[in-house]
Structure 1
Amino acid sequence: MPEENDAGVIRLLDDETVNTIAAGEVIERPASVVKELLENAVDAGADMIKVDISTGTQHISSIQVTDTGCGMHPSDAQMSFVRHATSKIRGPDDLSRIHTMGFRGEALASIAAVSRVTLITRTQERDAGTEIVIEGGEILSVSEVSSPQGTTVRVDNIFFNTPARRKFLKSRQTELLHIYRAVEGEAFAHPESAFRLRVNGKEKLRTQKTTAITQTIAQVYGADVAREVIPLSAGTPVMRVDGGIVRPEACRPNAGEIHLCVNGRPVTSPQIVRGIRAGYGTLIPKGRYPAAYLNIRIDTSLVDVNVHPAKREIRLSREKDIIGGITGAIRDTLQTTDLIHNDTSAHPVTSPSSVYQHIPENSPVVSEAASVFVDTSSENTHPQERLHIKYATTDKQLRLTGNLDEDTGVNLLPSMRIIGQVADGYILAAPGDNDELLIIDQHAAHERILYDQLCARKDASIRRQELLVPLVVELNSAEKLALSANIDILLDMGFIVDEFGSDAFAVRAVPMVLGKRLGIEMIRDIVSDLVIESRKTADERSDRITATIACRGAIKAGTPLTQEQMERLVIQLSHTSEPYTCPHGRPVILSYSQKELDRMFHRT
Structure 2
Amino acid sequence: MTEQSTIIRQLDDATINKIAAGEVVERPASVVKELVENSIDAGASRIEIVTAGGGKNLIRISDDGIGMTQSDLALAIQRHCTSKLDPDDLMDIRHLGFRGEALPSIGSIAKLSITTRHHSEPHAWEIEVQGGTQSEIRPAALTKGTRIEVEDLFFSTPARLKFLKTDRAENTAISEIIKRIALAHPEIRFTLTGADRSRLDYAACKGNDAHLVRMGQVMGKAFRDNAVEIDAIRDTVRLTGFAGLPTLNRANSLQQFVFVNGRPVKDKTILGAIRGAYVDFLAGNRYPCVVLFIDLDPHEVDVNVHPTKADVRFRDPQHVRGLVVGAIRRALMEAGHRATTTGGDATLAALRPDGMRSTQVATGMPSSSEISGASMTGYASPPVQPARHQDWNWRQSVYAPQVQTSDVVTDLEESAQPYAVSSETSKGAFDADVAIPTIEQQGRMMDVSVPSADARAGEIPLDEAKLSRPLGAARAQIHENYIIAQTEDGLVIVDQHAAHERLVYERLKSAIAEKGIAKQGLLIPHVVEMDEDDVARLDEAKEELQDLGLSLDAFGPGAVAVRETPAILGKPNLDRLVRDIADDLAEWDKATRVEEKIHHVAATMACHGSVRSGRRMRAEEMDALLREMEATPHSGQCNHGRPTYVELKLSDIERLFGRSG
TM-score (norm 1): 0.58
Q: Which residue of 2 aligns with 1:380?
A: 475
Q: Which residue of 1 aligns with 2:439?
A: none
Shift of 1:424: 12
Of the three residues 90, 99, 110, the one matched with 1:95 is 90
Q: Which residue of 2 aligns with 1:314?
A: 312
Instruction: Tell whether the 8 Å contact from 1:196 to 1:203 is kept in structure 2 after alignment.
Output: no
Instruction: Tell whether the 8 Å contact from 1:234 to 1:241 is kept in structure 2 after alignment.
Output: yes
Instruction: Tell whether the 8 Å contact from 1:81 to 1:108 is kept in structure 2 after alignment.
Output: yes
Q: Which residue of 1 aligns with 2:410?
A: none
Distance 2:343 2:315 in 1: 39
Shift of 1:163: 0.9
Distance 1:240 1:64 in 2: 36
Of the three residues 81, 94, 102, the one matched with 2:77 is 81
Distance 1:89 1:216 in 2: 30
Of the three residues 193, 204, 218, the one matched with 1:198 is 193
Identity %: 34
Distance 1:439 1:323 in 2: 34
Distance 1:332 1:251 in 2: 18
Counterpart check, 1:111 vs 2:80: no
Distance 2:188 2:60 in 1: 17
Aligned length: 391
- Residues 6 and 117 from structure 1, CA distance in 2 versus in 1: closer, same or farther, beyond 3 angstroms? closer
- Residues 96 and 295 from structure 1, CA distance in 2 versus in 1: closer, same or farther, beyond 3 angstroms? same
Q: Which residue of 1 aligns with 2:137?
A: 142
Shift of 1:230: 1.4
Q: Give the gaps of 5 or more residues in structure 2.
A: 359-376, 380-427, 429-470, 485-568, 582-609, 616-661
Distance 2:115 2:262 in 1: 26
Question: How much is the aligned-residue C-alpha RMSD, in angstroms?
Answer: 3.9
Distance 2:193 2:23 in 1: 27
Q: Which residue of 2 aligns with 1:594?
A: none
Could you report, residue by residue, the CA deviation over 1:368-403 in whole angstroms, capped at 9, with x for unpaired residues? xxx9x9xx99843369954999xxxxxxxxxxxxxx
Shift of 1:352: 5.4
The aligned amino acid for 2:305 is V
The aligned amino acid for 1:279 is A
Distance 2:196 2:145 in 1: 21
The aligned amino acid for 1:75 is S
Shift of 1:155: 0.4
Distance 1:426 1:272 in 2: 39
Q: Which residue of 1 aligns with 2:166?
A: 171
Shift of 1:339: 2.9
Q: 1:51-450 to 2 correspondence within 5 Å?
A: 51-55=49-53, 60-91=56-87, 93-200=88-195, 202=197, 204-210=199-205, 211=207, 212-340=210-338, 347=345, 348=348, 379-381=474-476, 385-386=480-481
- SS of the aligned residue for 2:168 comes to helix
Distance 1:127 1:233 in 2: 47
Distance 1:307 1:330 in 2: 27
Distance 1:99 1:32 in 2: 20
Q: Give the gaps of 5 or more residues in structure 1.
A: 356-370, 390-421, 430-436, 442-556, 563-604
Q: 1:562-573 to 2 correspondence within 5 Å?
A: none
- Residues 261 and 384 from structure 1, CA distance in 2 versus in 1: closer, same or farther, beyond 3 angstroms? closer
- SS of the aligned residue for 1:256 comes to coil
The aligned amino acid for 2:332 is L
The aligned amino acid for 1:147 is L
Distance 1:115 1:425 in 2: 68
Instruction: Tell whether the 8 Å contact from 1:424 to 1:560 is kept in structure 2 after alignment.
Output: no
- Residues 387 and 140 from structure 1, CA distance in 2 versus in 1: closer, same or farther, beyond 3 angstroms? closer
Instruction: Tell whether the 8 Å contact from 1:52 to 1:198 is kept in structure 2 after alignment.
Output: yes
Distance 1:102 1:54 in 2: 25
Shift of 1:333: 1.1
Instruction: Tell whether the 8 Å contact from 1:214 to 1:231 is kept in structure 2 after alignment.
Output: no
The aligned amino acid for 1:80 is A
Shift of 1:428: 7.5
Shift of 1:286: 3.4
Distance 1:339 1:387 in 2: 18
Instruction: Tell whether the 8 Å contact from 2:226 to 2:341 is kept in structure 1 after alignment.
Output: no
Could you report, residue by residue, the CA deviation over 1:400-457 in whole angstroms, capped at 9, with x for unpaired residues? xxxxxxxxxxxxxxxxxxxxxx99999989xxxxxxx99799xxxxxxxxxxxxxxxx
Could you report, residue by residue, the CA deviation over 1:24-64 in whole angstroms, capped at 9, with x for unpaired residues? 110000000000000000000001111111227xx731000
Shift of 1:326: 1.7
Instruction: Tell whether the 8 Å contact from 1:424 to 1:559 is kept in structure 2 after alignment.
Output: no
